[in-house]
Chain A
Amino acid sequence: SQQGEEDPQALSIQEGENATMNCSYKTSINNLQWYRQNSGRGLVHLILIRSNEREKHSGRLRVTLDTSKKSSSLLITASRAADTASYFCATVFITGANSKLTFGKGITLSVRP
């Protein structure tokens, strides 16, 4: 079953504004990752946060993880038109040799110039 559930499903903002996207999941995880997909292309990894971490930064990206609430958020600051894409959270739960990556349905972000 799908592990991550992102919200909102779609987000439209003005260039320069911040974009906040949320992800909730159901079971224990070892880490949570955020990916980006431009239309018709493969996914590109953005950032990984481990279950023992609470916050991580990478450039204009800030990810938080609250394992007690089983939720994560991705913040993109000072958005640009080029940030327009779909964003997916993915969870990893490692059991033995199995460390599969399970994705949510994604959030469509539109940044208006």
Chain B
Amino acid sequence: NAGVMQNPRHLVRRRGQEARLRCSPMKGHSHVYWYRQLPEEGLKFMVYLQKENIIDESGMPKERFSAEFPKEGPSILRIQQVVRGDSAAYFCASSPPNKGTTEAFFGQGTRLTVV
């Protein structure tokens, strides 16, 4: 059972381009979380998804950011028209469908650099 897979590991985008970050959860996991981490800071919650549903997107900016977790395939975090301030490490975590009573498993992150 492979762990949480995120790709790409590093992504460089010019200002105004789109960034697509992918996260494949562990097998059997139906919950996915996305977090953003700036250097020397903690993880800031962005969005929590279950298959085909957004449960909580209170941490995600209203504009330019969107997330999905389709029935088939990975979860995607999409950032349109990127700006320098979007540069950060984006982590995805997954957990099994038992309502938050177990640990979350993290991917290695995608480091986005906007130039």
Contacts and interface: CB of A to CB of B under 8 A. Distances in A.
Contacts of B42: 2, 88, 103-106
Given A2-B44, A105-B42, 14 more contacts: A31-B100, A33-B103, A33-B104, A41-B109, A42-B109, A44-B106, A48-B103, A94-B101, A98-B56, A99-B31, A100-B45, A101-B93, A103-B45, A106-B42
20 contacts: A2-B44, A30-B100, A30-B101, A31-B101, A35-B106, A42-B4, A43-B91, A43-B93, A50-B101, A92-B100, A92-B101, A98-B55, A99-B100, A100-B55, A101-B95, A102-B45, A103-B42, A103-B44, A103-B45, A106-B41
Interface string A30-74: 110101000001111100101000000000000000000000000
Chain A facing B: main interface SS: strand
B69 interface: no
Interface in B71-115: 91, 93, 95, 99-109
Interface string A81-113: 000000010101010011111111110000000
B35 interface: yes
A111 B55 CA distance: 40
A41 B4 CA distance: 13
Chain B facing A: main interface SS: strand
B50 to A, nearest CB: 7
B12 interface: no
Contacts of B101: 30-31, 50, 92, 94, 99
Give the bracket for the number of chain A residues in contact with chain B: 20 to 34
Give the bracket for the number of chain B residues in contact with chain A: 20 to 34
Given A94-B99, A100-B55, A88 B91 contact: no
Nearest to A86: B42
B106 A100 contact: no
A74 B93 CA distance: 22
A35 B105 CA distance: 10
Contacts of A31: 100-101
Given A88-B43, A97-B50, A98-B56, A103 B35 contact: yes
